[in-house]
Structure 1
């Protein structure tokens, strides 16, 4: 997408389109009677309760037109420029996240109408949020809201996607705005990378393919050092969780190690991601009418890779190791069986009570490896349990661990939109992981609090001198429908959250 910074937009016709030509273009509706289209639509931002009208238009937005996330197209006479009103809701409630949502909805609305180009006066947003926040939030939301995974469709279902966007800014901030645009583009592109990988079907995105994609993505970044552990390397490092989980598959497991040490003077922080390219449950086979969503079980891996991609391409001064445990979990003649024992290098033995609780088995490998590398702080992120959604719904992930990390992640999430909520680690509940013949069971003996029990399991693989946090994103990895800047399918959750957190602690 081409992005241009301009100091002046061509004015609309003096007469302008009338209010009676308003067409509701919220996502899911769309106009069925659009006139011949202008090549560009001018977007005007509007707040609820605004009394002064919109410069350049002879209409005043109705309260419904100014509602957050609503985009109303105004069609002029032949030859006149087309316009749209983008609702921002209450001026007092405006923040970066609400602006991102409005931009994402607007991008899809005008794209559905077939416009090739759009221009927007960000004045109202800049006035409310500040220039840097306003420019970045709008563009980030616009790009993410324009995203669509339709590579395998003969017909995309869209008339077009907007390929050019002009941003009107004050001349005094033009040079700075160019840098803000670059930053927003990096953030959106790394998030869309995570979406792309996670959305791919299982017959395409195999464990080998994911490893190849990661290697290719970072090949042009000399500051990122990539190492892949496979086969004998996994065995030599005692990564027995990966080896056990993948026994039933024809695809080989791997652990991908990405090191980005642009500032090695800082303590090493490790990001650990679960990369289960398809989770059929192993011998505890999942059942259901449509199991296509099992491909999203690599959401944590995509978040970690996307975060490192964002940090490296932004030139952030950090010291980070990204560790991605890659496998698939399918039944087969040699598959891991319930009751099996997995031995780990820290001396712990684990009874496999349920092969569909495989994520924690491979994360344990990566957590131990992070400590071998000397990580002072570790954050793991995974689509680990369905129960986190029962507790928090579909928009907020759970986070456990060191209170200073969880609180900082919560604050970062409120700003970037990848929201998390701190959850408890209750020591007494460790008895729920008791095994009769091993140190731990990989499944809780209770049908309640599964997400908390999984976090307690992972904690057993982290030394007491290491700061650690665990994010369960099973409920936020995908959007069931288009909403704001999220589009149906993988959300790319965690990319911006992790990158923002790492830059925050550096500051």
Structure 2
């Protein structure tokens, strides 16, 4: 696997007056007002503002979300380029951080040939400032590692190097917000790089090697189980799923233990580096994006890296459950029975329901450390997309942990919807020959998968079930549609920033 650069532009605050701003381009917001498009804020002089607003409609500027229009700079401002970015309908109560994050990201995602930008978007509040900085950074992501030299040269463009965010916040406040925005964006870029890497180069062994490199860079403790270790310790889910591939499975445990930490969260990620469906073979069209079936593990690795970079005072353990699901003469078969880590047996009725098997192994192992909460994340079911579409993640589990995930997602601007685990689904997981079947009721399949995973959540020292939540990111993890906001095509890095936020909440 190639080493992929995740370096980002430098971000800094600049006075709202723009007196110290030095950029090639000035970015201002445009909203959809009742009487037509209107410029938001006072970055432009009154004369320039009046002239520009009179011309917006004829220039095709509407203020719609994701619209970005590049114009020559105005006479009274020393910026060669003026960029207008839409924020949607005009509001009096202030623009949400996600609206600003998306508006800033749309600019850096689409603008080419400019090495420095000053964003004069609403950034009076800390949340707004961080959102503008974060969105601008997220939008800069590009993935060209596996193009030839000629291919990269054809895509060459001057790289954005500096991002200024205009604000009246003090440097003491803005410096901390810049750090938060940068560490979050770097973590997302790490996850995207892993997900975008082709399966010819990313398989359990190389994924584990990358995890080791990340752990080394952040001074984190790491343990990797190879095939021999997995057999010895009884991780039947990993062995069963991975036995059809020449690329053996791996289980990775990474520990972040800062001084004076409070709380302990375990993050568990599904890392199926490619999913053919195994003997229960997927249709060809359904395999085209299956390099992204390790998005959960990528999110977990990226999250613990970002948490460590921020120095959050919370103990975090990351578990990456890795295998490659292939059909072969040695592959697991429908009706086979496997013994999971911890001793429960599972009848494998569909080999394409494999992610829950490696997750179950890791969830049992995570419970042995007695964390305050376990949160697993996976591209687990097509039913997630049927229920919630391709941008909204489903979260299930204990109400308290589930709500923490929802609250954290709201703060980061990611879309999550809480879902139940109906008790009537549990009987459908019964097997005639084993403790459980790996598939159950077809309808509500996202929730059935969560009901299966719940069976592997351990207990604390008092005998109570460890608080747990499951996040299904099957659709939102990989964008097959048009780019939008700060989100480009292919890997999205969804839930990385949310996992960082929810873990940090356990420090309080």
Q: Same fold (TM over 0.5)?
A: yes
Q: Deviations over 1:44-102 (max 9, x none)?
A: 22333348876232312747443332222222599972212222232346211111110
Change (3 A) 1:80 1:386: closer
Distance 1:456 1:273 in 2: 17
1:248 aligned onto 2:248: no
Change (3 A) 1:73 1:237: same
Change (3 A) 1:349 1:76: closer
1:449 aligned onto 2:455: no
Aligned match of 2:413 in 404, 410, 417? 417
**Is the CA contact 2:373–2:401 (under 8 Å) kept in the aligned structure 1?**
no
Equivalent in the alignment of 1:492: 493
**Is the CA contact 2:275–2:287 (under 8 Å) kept in the aligned structure 1?**
no
**Is the CA contact 1:379–1:470 (under 8 Å) kept in the aligned structure 2?**
yes
Equivalent in the alignment of 2:63: 66
1:391 aligned onto 2:387: yes
Instruction: Note the 1:154-169 alignment, pairs <5 A.
Output: 154-155=151-152, 157=155, 159-169=157-167
1:9 aligned onto 2:18: yes
Where 1:167 maps in the other structure, the secondary structure is: strand
**Is the CA contact 2:73–2:81 (under 8 Å) kept in the aligned structure 1?**
yes
Distance 1:290 1:418 in 2: 25
1:212 aligned onto 2:221: no
Gaps of 5+ in 1: 13-37
Using the TM superposition, give the Cα deviation of residue 476 of structure 1 relative to its aligned residue in structure 2, in angstroms: 0.9
Change (3 A) 1:290 1:406: closer
Using the TM superposition, give the Cα deviation of residue 150 of structure 1 relative to its aligned residue in structure 2, in angstroms: 2.3
Equivalent in the alignment of 2:428: 432
Change (3 A) 1:372 1:77: closer
Using the TM superposition, give the Cα deviation of residue 330 of structure 1 relative to its aligned residue in structure 2, in angstroms: 0.6
Equivalent in the alignment of 1:325: 321
Distance 1:166 1:365 in 2: 46
Using the TM superposition, give the Cα deviation of residue 267 of structure 1 relative to its aligned residue in structure 2, in angstroms: 4.0
Equivalent in the alignment of 2:44: 55
**Is the CA contact 1:275–1:302 (under 8 Å) kept in the aligned structure 2?**
yes
Change (3 A) 1:442 1:219: same
Instruction: Note the 1:221-232 alignment, pairs <5 A.
Output: 221-222=218-219, 224-232=220-228
Change (3 A) 1:180 1:264: closer
Using the TM superposition, give the Cα deviation of residue 375 of structure 1 relative to its aligned residue in structure 2, in angstroms: 2.3
Distance 1:189 1:43 in 2: 23
1:359 aligned onto 2:318: no
Aligned match of 1:138 in 122, 132, 138? 132
Using the TM superposition, give the Cα deviation of residue 220 of structure 1 relative to its aligned residue in structure 2, in angstroms: 2.2
Using the TM superposition, give the Cα deviation of residue 300 of structure 1 relative to its aligned residue in structure 2, in angstroms: 0.3
Equivalent in the alignment of 2:107: 106
Where 1:497 maps in the other structure, the secondary structure is: helix
Distance 2:322 2:231 in 1: 15
**Is the CA contact 1:249–1:335 (under 8 Å) kept in the aligned structure 2?**
yes
**Is the CA contact 1:110–1:162 (under 8 Å) kept in the aligned structure 2?**
no
Distance 2:347 2:79 in 1: 71
**Is the CA contact 1:304–1:494 (under 8 Å) kept in the aligned structure 2?**
no
Where 1:389 maps in the other structure, the secondary structure is: helix
**Is the CA contact 2:225–2:250 (under 8 Å) kept in the aligned structure 1?**
yes
Equivalent in the alignment of 2:299: 303
What TM-score do the two structures reach when normalised by structure 2?
A: 0.88
Distance 2:213 2:115 in 1: 31
What TM-score do the two structures reach when normalised by structure 1?
A: 0.88
Equivalent in the alignment of 1:465: 465
**Is the CA contact 2:265–2:506 (under 8 Å) kept in the aligned structure 1?**
no
Q: Deviations over 1:145-198 (max 9, x none)?
A: 11122222314546444222222333x613421221121111100011000001
**Is the CA contact 1:65–1:86 (under 8 Å) kept in the aligned structure 2?**
no
1:41 aligned onto 2:25: yes
Distance 2:381 2:199 in 1: 20
Using the TM superposition, give the Cα deviation of residue 347 of structure 1 relative to its aligned residue in structure 2, in angstroms: 3.3
Distance 1:441 1:210 in 2: 29
Using the TM superposition, give the Cα deviation of residue 41 of structure 1 relative to its aligned residue in structure 2, in angstroms: 1.4
Where 2:470 maps in the other structure, the secondary structure is: strand
Q: What is the aligned length? A: 472
Distance 1:80 1:198 in 2: 38
Aligned match of 2:397 in 391, 398, 401? 401
Equivalent in the alignment of 1:115: 114
Distance 1:202 1:231 in 2: 19
Using the TM superposition, give the Cα deviation of residue 5 of structure 1 relative to its aligned residue in structure 2, in angstroms: 3.0
Change (3 A) 1:275 1:106: same
Aligned match of 2:186 in 189, 192, 195? 189
Q: Deviations over 1:14-59 (max 9, x none)?
A: xxxxxxxxxxxxxxxxxxxxxxxx9811112233334887623231
Where 2:241 maps in the other structure, the secondary structure is: helix
- RMSD of Structure 2 on Structure 1 (CA): 2.3
Gaps of 5+ in 2: 1-8, 459-463
Q: Deviations over 1:338-369 (max 9, x none)?
A: 11001124332110001110001111110110
